[in-house]
Structure 1
């Protein structure tokens, strides 16, 4: 009796403490926790304005701020125009026109996605600078006084970034054009519109939501880029953040610059969402797709245009990297293998953690699909819109504060521990990767989860199975292909990530991306080729996956329409 009496209050106390959590729900609580995890670095980054480093900030304001603001505007406008022109035009040609090589270009034009922007940047600089092989050859064969415009210029950087990022617009625009079918275009032609008029007044407005989504992705990558702008010595917010952190040794100033960049991105996302309004793009096939047969010079002009983009964006850099790398095989040593191991380790660990959390978030949204859970899950996947440098600054500010508090608590017990428990650790780096690429994993997992009928979970619950058992015994086996795909996409993105790795990596923990940065800063383009080839080869894996999906979904029974050629 005494034993029962003594245990009852303890059970009552525990039940009382856990009762609020039961009312909230474990899955809703998990989603709220993950949403908060992303919000904290954003909040502390914005809060850096409360304690500004006035001396450093005054120097930045007088010497850099106007330049980086102007450069950012020029880069966004230039790259936006470039990816729109390349992506939309190539998508229209491959989806709705017929010309020599169309079947090859249909999927091959996705390949530039495998080349990181900073890799294409140093290849172009190494090839086309004044002392490079292209200008040297032209001076020897054409004229000794010949001098091409400098590749290290704003137009040169815009060209490089447009060649790498246009596939975002190309893939979504192509899908939108294919989904429109033939009926809208035929109706426009009946109304007296020319082929060009039908494109601009019918096909293009219908595809606008898809084009806007692809352009937004490309511009997010543009604002987040650090490697390419460093190669071109082009000052942007990401390079200024790096300089404030490692040049002026001011985390506060880096935080203020990161906050400005964050505000620009949030304003851009809000404007893009407002511009699209409630528009949606439907990818259901509206009948068959008949293509306009291009003949004569128009056909070969289309082939030449597509071939030029593919050559500059993929074939040329890969060929040049192989040539340079072959001449520096001596760099393939133990140090290089250590870089590969570090890169693969970070990619594998980050991919496993990210996909696991993404699976739990997707499950939480189905178990408790209320407003709070859905908003918390949405907040957890916003990291992809944030540059790695912004996340790195926010995480470093949080971890620095935590390290100081822990050091203060432990100092009376163990003495001074140096205050470096979390900052500059692999753990901080992995946290940044998880937050940055959660959206990539969640998209792949959530789309796979849509194929599982809710009745399976209900049947398992009726048999007494708990949520964890349902996930382990039903969801994971069924979702295995989707989980592998998500892990693959996240792992490759992690291995190519440069700014977060540069800012947060532990001392001596270098990766292939870091080694490329070190060589390009010193102008050693040829020595940067071997790690660059490795990253391009790894980056081809998810691109091949995208290509295989493109080929599988490609309409098989489509023949060119007996329509007029595209007129000027």
Structure 2
């Protein structure tokens, strides 16, 4: 009887909580419209374009761009997936020399942007790079006709370079799932005669498929968002085609039409990710659940495991960081840290901090509203907010350009009618467009993290607060916000670093005479003097190391439960399908 009364009371509380104040409903709707604004503007620009542009794009631009994009994404999926899954399984299920340090080193390439890695690999492995010059001096070769060396500025080179940086997305998701798999299940398979390879292929890998789908999708979305690496390595992806069509050819409608094709690719990746996670749920009993304990490897296998796990770290982190340190010290680039460099650094930090604060504020509004009300408005806004990360920065910049200029003109007209003076560009002239692009793109990181944190909290806490007469504002301030603090901290670190590394949106939306660290590195590389930008690149990497190390520390120290580790691997992705 008591249980029935509590259930009925809880349902009555739920009914009361479904309605939101009009101002909060308006805020939730405005956030959803903000995410949809660039997409709607993009479609409008593409529809208004000259009808003659589309046949030209189909005949001369899109075929090569689509082929290169598909080939690049397929190659990264295979290479980065192999790196991440292999390393995750080895460090989780086996013991071998160097395993303890490799657990910490394997995620570190997340701190290195893809475009910086591409610039470094060209400096090291190109025909005029360090490696080939050393080979020519050592072997007495005079020109490239005397020998063969793999070409870095090529599609295979781009696949390898980007995979070396993007594999941690897959590694983190795979390791999280491998850690949560039941040891007893694997032991039963071993008693039935399953070898280590068969154990991995038949049991461990299929159980990890939902998380792997998220990790691979994240890596591919990052590759699709990239513009610096693919352009520098000579791969004409759809992102590069949007950039060149817009700026080099001066055709905004043509760039918008290519961007619409990119959106189709993005939706395809999301559908593939959802298909990979369809109807896949795995839960072990918390009373009898035992985590996998690493098994020592013997003989040559132990050293082979060390090599397999060390190679990705060397390619994705040690080589780029060592090159940046070498160039910074060799060229005495610390002297660049003058007033001008400090201004660029403070601009980068200021934009990133401001955007992070705005993202966290909007995420708290969305997640708290969805927690207080289960209506279609909050569910729809939360879903739309989760799609922002899937929209490439180039597409965001293209879609935001026209609306932001229109808003600036409207504000300027009103100001002139009131004061008689010209106001100028308020949003586009003061880097407001960059902040808005950051907010739209990275809002899903915060909403995913906060939703995962609150989903693990029992609703009975909120029910108890309601019985004591707590208002909605008190519920958020005294119950939800304290419970969301760990998720807020981790989301803030990830968003801050992503803002610092973001190149496409920053490059296209920055005001005149405004530089960030990422655009400064791009400017040096486009002039063929990347080594002069090593200090700025090194600062980006060092700043990015802080949240990555914190993420590893949190994952390694967290209790090994399926709920905790799986959510930590997937909630920041923005691809989670929670309402």
TM-score category (smaller protein)? 0.7 to 0.9
Say whether the 8 Å CA contact 2:209–2:276 is kept in structure 1.
no
Segment of structure 1 superposing worse, 522-531 or 48-57: 48-57
After superposition, where does 1:88-237 map in structure 2 within 5 Å?
88-144=85-141, 145-237=146-238
Alignment check: 8 A CA contact 2:385 2:440 kept: yes
1:249 equivalent in structure 2: 250
Task: Give, in whole Å, the separation in 1 of the partners of 2:438 and 2:385.
Answer: 13
How far apart are 1:187 and its partner, in Å?
Answer: 2.5
Between Structure 1 and Structure 2, how many residues are aligned?
A: 536
The corresponding residue for 2:6 is: none
CA change 1:131–1:213 in 2 (3 A) is same
CA apart distance, 1:22: 7.5
For 1:302, which of 282, 300, 305 is the aligned residue?
305
Show the 5 A alignment for 1:377-416: 377-403=382-408
Q: Secondary structure, in 3 states, of the residue corresponding to 1:64?
A: helix
- Give the secondary structure class of the aligned counterpart of 2:436: helix
Give the direction of change, closer, same or farther, for the CA distance of 1:502–1:298 in structure 2 (3 Å limit). same
Q: In 2, are the aligned partners of 1:98 and 1:293 still within 8 Å (CA)? A: yes
CA distance in structure 1 between the aligned counterparts of 2:50 and 2:445, rounded to whole angstroms? 36
* Corresponding residue number in structure 2 for 1:9: none
2:216 alignment partner, SS class = helix
Q: Distance in 2 between matches of 1:369 and 1:510?
A: 43
CA distance in 2, matches of 1:375, 1:98: 46
Partner of 1:314: 317
Q: CA deviation at 1:369?
A: 1.7
Aligned equivalent of 1:366? 371
Output the CA distance in 1 between the equivalents of 2:296 and 2:89: 13
- Residue 480 to residue 179, structure 1, CA distance change in 2 (3 Å): closer
1:425–1:243 Cα change, 3 Å: farther
Kindly indicate whether the alpha-carbon contact (under 8 Å) linking 1:138 and 1:146 is maintained by their aligned counterparts in 2.
no
Which residue does the alignment assign to 1:289? 292
Larger Rg: 1
Which residue in the other structure is 2:360 paired with?
Answer: 355
Residue 68 of structure 1 corresponds to 65
CA RMSD of aligned residues (A): 2.6
The DSSP-based 3-state class of the residue aligned with 2:514 is coil
Work out the CA distance in 1 between the residues paired with 2:271 and 2:454.
29
Counting only pairs closer than 5 Å after superposition, residues 43-82 of structure 1 correspond to structure 2 as 43-54=40-51, 57-82=54-79
Q: Over residues 207-242 of structure 1, what are the superposed CA-to-partner deviations in whole Å (9 max), with x where a residue is unaligned?
A: 111111111111111111111112212211111111
Task: Give the Cα separation in 2 of the matches to 1:53 and 1:308.
Answer: 50
2:155 and 2:234 in contact (8 A); partners too: no
Which has the larger displacement, 173-182 or 160-169? 173-182
* Runs (5+) with no aligned partner, structure 1: 1-20, 557-568
SS in 2 for 1:130: coil
Give TM-score scaled by structure 2 length: 0.86
Deviations 1:261-284 (A, max 9, x none): 011111221233134322135487
Q: Given that residues 241 and 258 in structure 1 are in contact (C-alpha distance below 8 angstroms), is that contact kept between their aligned partners in structure 2?
A: yes
CA contact (8 A) 2:368 2:480 kept: no
Q: Partners in 2 of 1:190 and 1:475 — Cα distance? A: 47
Q: Is the 8 A contact 2:366 2:378 kept in 1?
A: no
Q: Given the alignment, which residue of 80, 84, 89 partners 2:81?
A: 84
SS at match of 2:531: coil
Per the alignment, residue 29 of structure 2 pairs with: 32
Q: Which moved more, 1:361-370 or 1:455-464?
A: 455-464
* Cα shift readout 1:458-512 (whole Å, capped 9, x = no counterpart): 5555555543344345544554343232222211111110000011111112100
